Every structure is written in structure tokens, then in C-alpha cells.
A and B are shown apart, each in its own frame.
Chain A
């Protein structure tokens, strides 16, 4: 089965979400940081009058080189369906079509902590793409963290 996937990169790693679970992409919006929030939350942004929560994926996955968000940073945000939670994307790349037969289980490639947020790994000629489990982010509560 073929699947359209929106991809972006973070710390030299390609990520992707199924286009179906992607609400919209916003480039260069000003970030408002929220003090005392969980470390993996970048803060909030205004998208057409909506106050949108933005998740810092690097922090969530425990990357050592994850970006520290600063107040007033302009960031790219991918909003997920259905709740509209945002994910900060450092470089939004193309939408590509993947063959689900080429997917491999996340556990084969990742440690347990990040594997929780990854549905599958797609092996492509551009390197492996980590496909996110969007239900982990789009639920109405806190992200299930280790």
C-alpha cells in the first residue's frame, strides 16, 4: 500500500507523518515560551487566532543536540489531526510516497524510549525515515513520557 508522507529533518534525521494525519504546516511563526512547562514543550504559537501547543520533538526523543527554544524564535510548525497539536520542524522537506511494504518495525532500529513515538521506520534511498505515531501527540492530555 502506498502512503503519502510529509517529511522533515531534525538533527540529521528524517522524520515523517502520514499526510492524512497532518492538518497544516506553518512556516516562520513567532514562538511564545511557557515557563514551568514540561521540557519537551516548545511553547505556544498563534495560528490564525488559535493558541497552538508546540512540541519539541528533539527534547521528547531525548536527543542531546535538541534545540533549546527561546522566546520569540521563529519556527516551522506541523499541526496534527485531530487536536491540532503542533510539532516543531527545523526543516520541512518534501511530501514523498512510501510503500508500506518497505516499513520496518521501530524496535529493530531504535532504543525503547524513542521507539514509543515511532510507528515504523521506512528505508528509503535518502536514508531511514522515522514515521511518528501521531496518536501519541494528538491525544487530549499530556504526551506519555518516560
Chain B
């Protein structure tokens, strides 16, 4: 259900943007004629006019129309804008602005003076205009579905042409409904307050109602009622002003009536105009909602230029970078009072940055509003019947991200209707209702927006995917047979992988799902698909709510630094040249029994071998896992990714660039593009993934093994553990809670010997901690020794319960390992200790205050 008041607010804000644009264009015209400026001006007026009609803003519409006419002549250079003409247009812009500021009263604003001047300016050409308009009305009939239906309302004395958007007529035809048109003279309702008018309309029978202007030039309005049966005109008359005229348009089974001819009044309305979907939505609007609009909520919002917000964001991200530098230096200085102050700055900067990013948030309705129209067009084109349900349009997402997912969502919706949902016949045969259901829902989960698009269509044909995978050489026959549904469904995201047998006009050209996934990845999100054959398909998009900071590992290759997203990084290995295998021209490294393809970064980027390459950064995407041979691993840093200029459009290896603390611009690698560029074989990697998957669903990446209190444990690598060496004397103790100062934050330490009651254990002087960030909560496990990542075990037992937060028991290298559910463990620990942790932080703060007083 689309909210009318939101639509109006969107319209107002869009219109004010357009007016700003128009003003800028007019001012530019003062310096001489410029076709592009006139064009922009014309289009601004046109859009304002077109959309004003939807909201019954008659005067705004009229004024914009008059201005548009003049600008039309300026555009085709029939007339030129002199100084007074420019003044006049500016006055129009100002008047429109005034009307926009209070749309409710806009219909009372005096506009005749301006209209008169505009008409005078259009002057001699006005006659010509009418001719050409009539002419266009005649010729556009060939436009067919894009034109508009025209019906004639006849009474004994007057004959009037009413232009009715053709979709009403078509819809009525399609659904076998009767349209009742009621023509109302403006005078007869002039005395009526808007509320009474809307109450009157609400009281009318019929399921769907729309209020439309009769035509562009008329102030008469027409009410369209849609009903299954013809309405009783006599009882209707009693509810309407005396001079209202009623006309029934019954298209059921009959040929189109004589009077109903195809014509057009707005031939230049682009098909994809944003106005189109609100038009449909307005049709379902009732009076109550309209009233809500009039109290208007847009005053509570400040309109801030996107430029200013962008510069705030830039400043915030620079501040973050400067802070990182500062924190590091202060940490090294060992000055505790200074450390205390920086700690505070640290937190404040983080919060500041977060809040600034929030200013870019917009409701997803912006995107959802376009979907009904899309569904309509696609379902009409395919002859399918679709019921669309949207939910969570109020969930907010960064504006740039909304734009970024707009194309993928469009594609997915088309896909679902085109390939997912069956035609009515096929549905009946499958025992489903004839109307397919498409559900688009959004929700927020731990800083991510989760977008679900599900249909109840035929689902994925796994056998066909399997065939296709073999056919395309993506998997060997044997391998394809072993793949489960999840792995098969994932193949859909591979470039050029399309299972659709036929290519249709709307989708299915073999491009698609891979673009969906890569678009999402570009903004740090992901796309997954789940489908049950015969039952339906659900595509889940996960998008970070803000384009905030990316956690990056910096590395050196040759004489330059590069960044890779920590999310892509699995582990770093130190190697020597001898460890690397050359297979044909490709490098590979044997990692735990599997051959890992290795890409020499120097070779890739600069076409020369890296003589000093001695580290391999193991990176993974959903489809690929490979190693990057690099010279050196530097630090990890939080960076803000900036896009490269359009001049670099053909360079696909980089996700963008980031500005470092020292001012250097560093390129951030796009790992997925590297894999694509190197044409790495996803199947060999898939093999490894599948082997791991067979072991357990959620340990595709293996476990990091470590010893604590004489026992061996494993934590999933997917939880992105960070290993740090610490010294025992740095551990603070508060009651029974141990903490450590880590990057100027208090991080609680978990002793597994306490949790699992493993008895007293003597800690070494030097030990490790494994730091996790779970749902925003930072916690570290203490370890005596840390080993490598293991994804294959000699034995695995997931069924025997061996303790809280334990996934499974496994045997690796003949040693028993407890595989931990770190999520569960961290959350339980947080629950038990949050009180103490808070006290501890309180204590710290007091201590700092005291220190400050003392030092002062």
C-alpha cells in the first residue's frame, strides 16, 4: 500500500528541486541562449505540471502548463527570451515555489496575472499551438497502449471530451469492470470545503476511485468509479451536486464504444515517468489520507544540499583517518592522561561519523514506489496475473545505495515474473491459484538492510542447472552430481549462466544474476538465492545501511600500497619462492592439501614479476578462492572508499581509492574482479568449498585452531578472528572480569578454562588473544598458542553435547578439538558480564577525570 501523504511530500520535495534547477537554468539563459538549459527548464515545468495533476493541484498545474507552452516555443526557437521574458519565468518559478510551500492553499493563489503575461509572450504563436496540439492528438493514436483513452460524456446540451489515462480503460476491460464517469463542474463544488468533497467521493459506490482533471485545459474534474456491475445512476445522482453528469463506460465483452477513441493529451509523457506509478496509487487514495497530508510533515525536514552532506562526509572520513593516526601515536607515547583524552575523541569521532552517514538515509519507498508499475508492465507483457505485496518501505537506506540496488531489484522483479511465476493455466495445473504472488519485503538486521524478494512460482529447475553446468564446463559430471541444491542455486550468479530455455523481451539474455551480485558486492553487500522446485524462489539481498567505513588490510606490492577488504581476506601466509608451484603459466600453492591458485600482484598490475614477493594473502569471494602474492603485509586500517573518476571506467580491478593518514591515495583491490580478470576456474575452488560444506554447513571456511588451558579449540574463520600477541601484565582485572586495553577500547577477555571449568591453569608470560567483533560487541578469547586454519578433520561429531556454545567435537592431527559457536559464546558472555563491564568503564572514566584534575 503506497502512502498518499508520502507521495505528496515526495512530489513537493522533487518539485522544489526542479524549481531550483529551473531557476539556475533561467539565470544561465540571461547570458544567452543555450539549448540544454531551455531543455532542462522545459522539462522541469513539464514534470511539475504532470505530477500536479495527480494531487489535484489545479493552479500549480495551470501555471506550469502556461510556462511550459512558452518554453516550448523558446525551445524550438519560435520565440526568444528577452530580459522581461526571463523576469517573467523567474516570477513563475517564485510563484510556484510559494504555492509549493503550502499546497493546500495553492488553489487559492492568484495566478491570472502571470498566465496573462505568459500567454501574451506566447502571443501570435498561440493559435498555431492549438492547431499542433489537435494535430498531435490525432496522430498519436498510433501510439496505441502508450496513448490515452478518450471517452465522451454527453448530456442534452454539452458534449465534452474527457481524456482518461488508457490504463483505466484497459484495466476495466481486462478485469471485466464497468467504469462510471462523473463530470463535475468546478462551480458546483467551489463552495465545498475539500474535506466535504472527499467525504462525498468516499461515499460513492464502486471499488476504485480516481479524481482526474477532464483535460489539460479544463478545470472541470471527473471522478472515475470502477465496479463489477453498472452502478445505479439515480442513486448516484442523489449523492452528487445537481449539475453533475454521469456516463457509464461499459467495455465488457462489447467492442469499444463509438465514442471511445484513442487519442492523447499528453503524448510527450515518457513511459517510464516516475509520475506513472503514483498515478495508479492516487487512484486508491481516500479522503482521510488526503487530510493527513494537509497537516504536512515536510516542514520538520531541512532541505540540505547533497553537496554539503557530501562534504560533511568527506570531512568526517578525513577526521577518522586523522584520528587513527593520532590514536596510534598516543598509544606509543605511553602518556596515560593523553590516552584518556584520545579515547574520548576516538568514541566521539566514531559517533559523529555514524550520525553524518545517517543524514544520507532515505526510505526504501523511494524504490518500492516504482515496483507496482514495473510489475504491471511485466505481467501484462507476459500475460501473467500477479499480486504484489510490499512491506518495510519505511526501512531507511543510504541514498547512493538505494540507487545502486535499483537496477538489481528491477532485474529480480522482472526475472521473478518472467521465469519464476507461471501463467494462470500452468498454475492451475500445479494446483495453485491463478494469481501469482510476489512479495518484496525489507527489514533491518544488525546494521544491514535485508531485502527479500520471493515468489510462489515454479522455482529453480535443479536438473537443468546441473545439465547446464556440465554443458558449460563449469563442473565435471561427477562433481555436478554431488552438488546439493544450495551449491547449484549459487551457480545462477555466475556470469553468462542462464537456465531460461527461451529468451524473452523482458529478461533472460544471460546477463543478469551475476550483475546483481556484482552490483551488490560493489557496495559491500551480498545476494543469495533459495528455491524449492515447484514452490517458489526467494532472493535475499543484504546491503549495509550506510556506506560507512571499510575495514581494509593494507599491503605492499613493489613500491606501492594497495588495500583489500578484510571481509575478503581469509589468511596471510609467509612463503618462499620454492613453495610456489608453476602449473603451465600459472602459479599455485599447496595449502592444506588443496592447490590454491596464486596471482602475482606485480605481474597482474604492472606486468613484471615480484622478486621480493614472500607473502600470500588468501582471499575469497563467493565463487573464488585464491592467493595474492605480495611483497609485504602492512597494517589494517579503516578507510573510506572513494570511486575512481569516470576516466578509469575501463579499469575494473579496483573498487576505488582511499586516502590514507599520510595523504596518499591508495587503490583498493576488487577481489572478485581480479578473479574474473585472471579467468580463474571457479570449479576447482568450488571443489574445496564443497568438501568443506559436506563437513558442516556453516564451516565452509574452516576453523582457526588454538590451545587454551591445555585443550584445543577451534573458532570459525567466518567470524573474522584477529590474533594479537599480548603480555600477561597488560591484563586488567575487575572483580572476576578481565579486560585489556586494545586500540584504546576496553575489551573483555574470555578465559575458556573458566567457562568450561578446566581447572586451574598457569598462564605464560606471553600469550595470545583472539579478538572478535560480534554484533558490535568486541570480545577476545585468551589462548596460549594459536595454530593454523583447518577445514578438514579426521572425525567430526556434531550430535553429542559437549558443553555450552560448542558446535561440534572434531579430531585434527590426532588431537581432540572443541569447535566453538563464537556467536553464542560472545552473546552469553555479554549477557553475564555487561553489568560488570559497564562498572569497569565507569571506573575508568572516573580515573581519567581524576587524572585530568591532577594534571591540571
Choice from B643, B647, B659, B667 contacting A143 with Cβ under 8 Å? B647
Q: Which stretch (A15-23, A33-41, A119-127) binds chain B?
A: A33-41
Q: By the criterion CB–CB under 8 Å, are B665 and A46 in contact?
A: yes
**B274 on the interface (CB 8 Å rule)?**
no
Q: Which residue of A lies closest to B318 (CB)?
A: A49
Q: With A30-B663, A49-B317 given, is the CB distance from A85 to B651 under 8 Å?
A: no
Q: With A35-B605, A51-B656 given, is the CB distance from A45 to B647 under 8 Å?
A: no
Choice from A30, A71, A72, A142 contacting B646 with Cβ under 8 Å? A142
Docked complex: B638-668 residues within 8 A CB-CB of A: 642-651, 653-654, 656-657, 659, 663-667
**A52 on the interface (CB 8 Å rule)?**
yes
Q: By the criterion CB–CB under 8 Å, are A142 and B664 in contact?
A: no
Question: CA A44 – CA B559 in complex, angstroms?
Answer: 16
Q: By the criterion CB–CB under 8 Å, are A141 and B646 in contact?
A: yes
Q: By the criterion CB–CB under 8 Å, are B647 and A35 in contact?
A: no
Question: CA A42 – CA B314 in complex, angstroms?
Answer: 24
Query: Hey, which chain A residues are within 8 Å of B659, CB to CB?
Result: 46, 49, 51
**B560 on the interface (CB 8 Å rule)?**
yes
**B756 on the interface (CB 8 Å rule)?**
no
**B787 on the interface (CB 8 Å rule)?**
no
Query: Hey, which chain A residues are within 8 Å of B654, CB to CB?
Result: 34
**A76 on the interface (CB 8 Å rule)?**
no
Q: Give the contact-size bracket for chain A.
A: 20 to 34
Mask of B610-640 contacts with A, CB within 8 angstroms, 1/0: 0000000000000000000000000000000
Report B394 CB to chain A, min CB distance, Å. Answer: 33
Query: Hey, which chain A residues are within 8 Å of B606, CB to CB?
Result: 35
Question: CA A122 – CA B606 in complex, angstroms?
Answer: 40
Question: CA A41 – CA B605 in complex, angstroms?
Answer: 15
Report B542 CB to chain A, min CB distance, Å. Answer: 27
Q: Which residue of B lies closest to A141 (CB)?
A: B646
Q: By the criterion CB–CB under 8 Å, are A35 and B318 in contact?
A: no
Q: By the criterion CB–CB under 8 Å, are A34 and B648 in contact?
A: yes
Question: CA A90 – CA B274 in complex, angstroms?
Answer: 49
Choice from B314, B318, B653, B664 contacting A36 with Cβ under 8 Å? B653
Question: CA A143 – CA B654 in complex, angstroms?
Answer: 20
Choice from B559, B649, B653, B665 contacting A51 with Cβ under 8 Å? B665
Q: By the criterion CB–CB under 8 Å, are A32 and B657 in contact?
A: yes
Q: Which of A32, A36, A140 has the most CB of B within 10 A?
A: A36
User: Binding site of A, secondary structure by majority: helix, strand, loop or mixed?
Assistant: loop
**A50 on the interface (CB 8 Å rule)?**
yes
Mask of B598-612 contacts with A, CB within 8 angstroms, 1/0: 000000111000000
Report B627 CB to chain A, min CB distance, Å. Answer: 19
Q: Which residue of A lies closest to B662 (CB)?
A: A30
**A53 on the interface (CB 8 Å rule)?**
yes
Report A58 CB to chain B, min CB distance, Å. Answer: 16
Q: By the criterion CB–CB under 8 Å, are B647 and A51 in contact?
A: no
Choice from B558, B644, B663 contacting A44 with Cβ under 8 Å? B644
Docked complex: B291-324 residues within 8 A CB-CB of A: 314-315, 317-318
Q: By the criterion CB–CB under 8 Å, are A51 and B664 in contact?
A: no
Mask of B546-561 contacts with A, CB within 8 angstroms, 1/0: 0000000000001110
Q: By the criterion CB–CB under 8 Å, are A32 and B664 in contact?
A: yes
Report B652 CB to chain A, min CB distance, Å. Answer: 8
Q: By the criterion CB–CB under 8 Å, are B664 and A41 in contact?
A: no
Query: Hey, which chain B residues are within 8 Å of A52, CB to CB?
Result: 645
Question: CA A143 – CA B657 in complex, angstroms?
Answer: 21
Docked complex: A32-84 residues within 8 A CB-CB of B: 32-38, 41, 44-46, 49-53, 55, 71-72, 83
Report B552 CB to chain A, min CB distance, Å. Answer: 15
Q: By the criterion CB–CB under 8 Å, are A51 and B645 in contact?
A: yes
Report A1 CB to chain B, min CB distance, Å. Answer: 15
Q: By the criterion CB–CB under 8 Å, are B665 and A71 in contact?
A: no
Q: By the criterion CB–CB under 8 Å, are B657 and A35 in contact?
A: no
Docked complex: A96-143 residues within 8 A CB-CB of B: 140-143
Q: With A30-B664, A35-B605, A49-B317 given, is the CB distance from A71 to B560 under 8 Å?
A: yes
Mask of B230-243 contacts with A, CB within 8 angstroms, 1/0: 00000000000000
Query: Hey, which chain A residues are within 8 Å of B653, CB to CB?
Result: 35-36
Choice from B315, B317, B558, B647 contacting A53 with Cβ under 8 Å? B647
Report B321 CB to chain A, min CB distance, Å. Answer: 9
Q: Which residue of B lies closest to A83 (CB)?
A: B645
Report B389 CB to chain A, min CB distance, Å. Answer: 39
Query: Hey, which chain A residues are within 8 Å of B646, CB to CB?
Result: 140-142
Query: Hey, which chain B residues are within 8 Å of A85, CB to CB?
Result: 645, 647
Q: Which residue of A lies closest to B641 (CB)?
A: A51
Q: By the criterion CB–CB under 8 Å, are A51 and B605 in contact?
A: no
Choice from A34, A46, A55, A83 contacting B644 with Cβ under 8 Å? A34
Query: Hey, which chain B residues are within 8 Å of A41, CB to CB?
Result: 647-648
Query: Hey, which chain B residues are within 8 Å of A142, CB to CB?
Result: 646-647, 649-650
Which residues of A pack against B, CB within 8 Å?
A: 30, 32-38, 41, 44-46, 49-53, 55, 71-72, 83, 85, 140-143
8 A-B pairs closest in CB distance: A53-B645, A35-B605, A46-B665, A51-B642, A32-B665, A51-B657, A49-B314, A71-B560
Which residues of B pack against A, CB within 8 Å?
A: 314-315, 317-318, 558-560, 604-606, 642-651, 653-654, 656-657, 659, 663-667
Question: Could you pull out 23 A-B pairs where Cβ atoms are within 8 angstroms?
Answer: A30-B663, A32-B560, A32-B665, A34-B644, A34-B651, A34-B654, A34-B667, A35-B604, A44-B645, A44-B665, A46-B659, A49-B314, A49-B317, A50-B314, A51-B642, A51-B643, A51-B644, A51-B657, A53-B645, A53-B647, A85-B645, A85-B647, A141-B646
Q: A35-B604, A49-B314, A53-B644 given; name 14 further pairs at CB < 8 Å.
A: A32-B560, A32-B664, A34-B654, A36-B605, A37-B650, A37-B651, A49-B317, A50-B314, A51-B644, A51-B665, A52-B645, A53-B645, A71-B559, A71-B560
